[in-house]
Amino acid sequence: MPPVTPPIHLSTTYLRNPDGTYENGYVYSRAGNPNRQALEEQLAELEGGAYALAFSSGMAAIQSLFLALKTGDHLLLPDDVYFNVRLLLDEVMADWGLTYTAVDMTDLQAIEDALQQNTRLVWLETPSNPQLKVTDIAAVCSLVDDRDIRVAVDNTWPTPIHQLPFALGADYVVHSTTKYMGGHSDVLGGALIAKQEDDWAAKLRRIQHVGGAVPSPMDCYLVSRGLQTLRLRVQAQTTSAHQLATFLEGHDEIEAVLYPGLPSHPQHDVAKKQMREGFGAMLSVLVRGDAKRAMSVAAKLQHFAVATSLGGVESLVEHRKSVEGPASATPNNLLRLSVGVEPVATLIEDWEQALATN
């Protein structure tokens, strides 16, 4: 009888049959592994894609997509793009010959004005990190629909529980599976999911195979295990995040709360249109004062760990500007919150005491 919990296949190589063939097509773990195949099938099904490719990190997934472009190609990025994406293009792929334009992705006219003859990819992050700007995915896809331009969406923050980019017209979805997919801050991984088989499919699979930035069988197992509770965790975290955002918006020591679920959010109507069952478990707050004040508030929180990353069962808080560096457009007084599964009353009380003691 098959086991309820799938086994972990740690072998890096597989026996050949006398005629030179391989059982089940597995040759070498970089090329394929039962745990990775299972994870990729799960990810493709969750996002509604034709196929998925698992990688050793979210950035490895992003880089693999960029590697599918050609020298001289141009891409559009959000003006508040995740800072590591810009570093990847500026510092690692500078000699690749790619060019990019950073655009306010909430402004369709600005996007249209930035398109060039050699634009081949529009990269979207919605809600964005860490300012939670919301891009109208369907409108952007419609804008480039009759051109040879693909649209990719980083769906790490909303997850497929709250947002399905393929249903809105996107061509690719990317995840840092380190975050909500794994869900427990104990595994590093990434994924690239494609809406359909096309002329890039073989290229992307080859980049994964030959480049070798693949997750280990254990990593694949841990992400697959996390997917079993994804909906339960994300729904609980989202409910708490919305309540916490509402509380903080009314606090005198908070200058602004950036959360798409609040009516005060500039793109709240867009978020309502394209997100479902909630608005995610991430929010950012602008503390009254400067960077020192914001970091002091974070340090006084007792149930939010001051640490990088997000999407785990524990609540985290981080001063993003100090992580991203002086070139970052992130406000000095911004704290990014990843809301965990703790009782929301405990989290609200924690913020009350942290703000009251400053």
CATH 3.40.640.10 for domain 23-227:
yes
Range with the poorest average pLDDT among 97-106, 281-290, 323-332: 323-332
Q: How big is the chain, counted in residues?
A: 358
**What's the confidence (pLDDT) of residue 126?**
98
CB 287 within 8 A of CB 254: yes
Q: What residue spans in the chain does CATH classification 3.40.640.10 cover?
A: 23-227
Active site residues: 30, 82, 154, 179
Terminal-to-terminal C-alpha distance of the chain: 61
pLDDT digits (tens, 9 = 90+) for 17-63: 989 888 888 999 999 999 999 999 999 999 999 999 999 999 999 99
Residues 279 and 271 sit within 8 Å (Cβ to Cβ): yes
Contact 334, 206 (CB under 8 A): no
- Quick one: average pLDDT of 65-72? 96
Query: Which whole number is the average pLDDT over 257-268?
Result: 98
| DSSP assignment string, 105-122 | TT-HHHHHHH--TTEEEE
Give residue 96's pLDDT: 87
Higher pLDDT: 206 or 94? It is 206
Query: Are the C-beta atoms of residues 164 and 48 closer than 8 Å to each other?
Result: yes
pLDDT score at 358 = 57
Peptide bond into 130 cis (omega under 30): yes
Q: pLDDT per residue over 309-320, tens digit each?
A: 999 999 999 999
Mean pLDDT of 134-163: 97
- Give the C-alpha separation, 298 to 292, whole Å: 10
Where residue 172 falls among pLDDT bands split at 50, 70, 90?
Answer: very high
Please say whether the structural domain 230-356 has been given the CATH code 3.40.50.970.
no
pLDDT at residue number 23: 81
Helices (H), ranges, 163-276: 201-211, 217-227, 230-249, 268-274
Mean pLDDT, the chain, integer: 96
Query: What residue spans in the chain does CATH classification 3.90.1150.10 cover?
Result: 230-356
3-state helix vs strand vs coil in the chain, percent to 5 = 40, 15, 45
Average pLDDT value for residue range 243-267? 98
Side-chain-side CA neighbours of residue 347 (13 Å): 25
Tell me: the pLDDT tens digits for 202-248?
Answer: 999 999 999 999 999 999 999 999 999 999 999 999 999 999 999 99
